[in-house]
Structure formats: C-alpha cells, structure tokens
C-alpha cells in the first residue's frame, strides 16, 4: 500500500501599508498560534522607519519574509512593479491561498498576481463601497472582490452588496472587522507598560490629516486648519497633530504656518501610542477611516 503525506495548506499574507499591518495582525497571530504554514510579503508601499516597522514591533509581529521595497508614486509604475515582485515570490513559494486586506494598490497587485497563477484569493474587509469611482481605492476593491475566491465581509451590509453584484453566496462570509481584535490586543499590551498614562490629565484634541483631497490644495488645507484652530481656541483645547509626511511637505510648499500656541506637532506615532492618544483626547478630528474605527471601538 502506497501512502503519501498530505501537504499542509500554505498561506501567503500580502500587505504594504500601516492599516493593512494593523488589520491583518490578528490573522498573523492566529497563524502563529495554530502553527500554520504561512509567510508575510511586504510591498513597502508606505515604508518609513517611524511609520512602518514600529507597527510590527507594537503588534509583536514577525518580520516579513519578503520585502519588495516598492515606493513608486505613480499608480501604473507602482502596480506594475508590485505584480512582477509578488508573482516571483508566489512562483517560488507556491502558496495555496493568499490573503489581502482592504483596497490599496498592494491588494490589487497581490490579487491580480495570484489570479494569473491560479492561487486562491481571500479578501479581508470585502464588500465595502463608496460608489465614487474617481477614488482609486474604489476601483481596487471592486476588482479584487470579483476575482477573490473568499470574501470576508465586516457586516451583513457588505455581504449583501457583494451578493447584489452577482458574487456567489458560497464565496461570501460575514466575519466582523479584524480592527476590533487588533484594538483589544493593543489595549492589553498597553496595560503592561507606562505608555497608557502618557497623555492622562491633558486637555487636547487629536487631529490627523492625510487624504489628498484635504491636503493637496492650499486653500482647502488652510481652511480646514483654520477651522480646527478656531474651534480649539473657543473650547480651550490644544491640538496634538501627528504629522503625515505628505501633509508636512504640503505645509512647507504652501508656506502655511501653524499657531504654536494651539498646535503641538509630533512625529508620526506607532499603533500603541495612537491608541493612547485616541483614548485620552477630548475630541478626535480625522480623515482616516482606521482612526474613526479605532475611536468607535475605544
């Protein structure tokens, strides 16, 4: 009698931005606990020492097995280089599944590369729609949903959206949002150290701004910041402002000077310090979907 050893399912976890690191971290942790056969591929779409690697450290994640170090600014060049790099890794590793999260160019590139190699695709946070196709993210999420083999939707609403677009019900699963798991785990890690008390007793608002529609136009950016300043002064609040590199660059280009008596500029912070800021703030003003979700959970 001839027997063969059954091959363990291999999973490739593909990520490239800080929200993806955060939202995929609970899945990575479960893979570790279950001793699953997996690897992490990082495209480095958002790479910087302060705004990237600290997230792996905060969330106690293993270093990625592969780093593509792709930092192109043009969508076409970025996606093209990502597909080539991801394809090479998938050919080498031969995973059964890849997992991608959200709606970035990394997600689109990972899904396209996998689909051409007949590797099954799992899309975490599937079924979201803004119905604004001028947003690159909207195109990405629609394409990935329609080529994915498994859609992991946060709520029934997203599952219904996917179903109404003709995606078979057998591919759609309502799983909840992994950011909830990430935040709860982050809070537990915070309780072990002193960081949780860093901003305790301070009276401040937390501001984050990074979306191109808010920061790439001089008048728009100025009006947002002036409105925030006026509201803060009226309510006797200082403003903690972790500065995104894109926003910092535009402030310098547009020669916009912030009132130092109101705005307290700080370098971009890691996941744990951001949770601390969110917990301690009297008000949160943000254009970040992730910060909005974290604030609701907290």
Q: Exposed, middle or buried, 166 (CB in 10 Å: 0-12/13-18/19+)?
A: exposed
- Give residues with Cβ within 8 angstroms of 40, minimum separation 6: 13, 14, 15, 28, 61, 62, 63, 64, 65, 66
Q: Does the annotation mark 210 as catalytic? A: yes
Q: Are 211 and 137 in contact (CB under 8 A)?
A: no
Question: In this structure, what token pair is assigned to residue 211?
Answer: 């979306």
Q: How many CB atoms lie within 10 A of CB 192?
A: 8
Q: Are 186 and 272 in contact (CB under 8 A)?
A: yes
Q: How many CB atoms lie within 10 A of CB 80?
A: 14
Question: In this structure, what token pair is assigned to residue 245?
Answer: 């590199």
Question: In this structure, what token pair is assigned to residue 179?
Answer: 């950011």
Q: Which of 75, 123, 210, 244 is catalytic?
A: 210
User: What DSSP string runs through 71-100?
Assistant: --SSHHHHHHHHHHHHHHHHHHH--SEEEE
Element (H, E) at 242: strand 238-242
Q: Are 268 and 207 in contact (CB under 8 A)?
A: no
Element (H, E) at 204: strand 204-208
Q: Would you please indicate which residues are annotated as catalytic (active-site) residues?
A: 210
């Amino acid at each position: 009698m001839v027997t063969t050893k059954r091959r363990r399912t291999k999973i490739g976890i593909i990520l490239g931005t800080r929200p993806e690191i955060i939202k995929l971290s609970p899945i990575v942790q479960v893979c570790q606990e279950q001793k699953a056969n997996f690897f992490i591929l990082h495209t480095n779409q958002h790479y910087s020492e302060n705004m990237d690697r600290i997230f792996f450290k905060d969330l106690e994640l293993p270093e990625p097995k592969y780093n593509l170090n792709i930092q192109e600014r043009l969508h076409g060049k970025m996606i093209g280089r990502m597909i080539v790099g991801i394809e090479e890794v998938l050919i080498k590793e031969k995973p059964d599944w890849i997992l991608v999260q959200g709606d970035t160019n990394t997600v689109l590139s990972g899904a396209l590369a996998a689909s051409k190699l007949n590797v099954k695709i799992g899309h975490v946070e599937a079924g979201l729609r803004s119905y604004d196709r001028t947003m690159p993210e909207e195109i990405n999420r629609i394409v990935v949903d329609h080529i994915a083999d498994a859609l992991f939707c946060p709520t029934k609403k997203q599952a219904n959206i996917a179903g109404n677009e003709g995606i078979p019900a057998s591919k759609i699963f309502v799983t909840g949002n992994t950011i909830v798991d990430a935040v709860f785990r982050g809070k537990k890690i915070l309780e072990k150290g002193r960081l949780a008390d860093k901003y305790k007793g301070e009276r401040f608002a937390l501001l984050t701004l990074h979306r191109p529609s808010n920061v790439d136009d001089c008048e728009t950016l100025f009006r947002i910041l002036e409105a925030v300043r006026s509201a803060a002064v009226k309510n006797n609040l200082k403003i903690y402002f972790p500065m995104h590199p894109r926003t910092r660059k535009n402030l310098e280009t547009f020669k916009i000077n912030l009132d130092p008596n109101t705005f307290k500029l700080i370098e971009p912070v890691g996941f744990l310090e951001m949770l601390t800021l969110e917990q301690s703030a009297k008000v949160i003003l943000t254009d970040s979907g992730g910060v909005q979700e974290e604030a609701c959970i907290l």
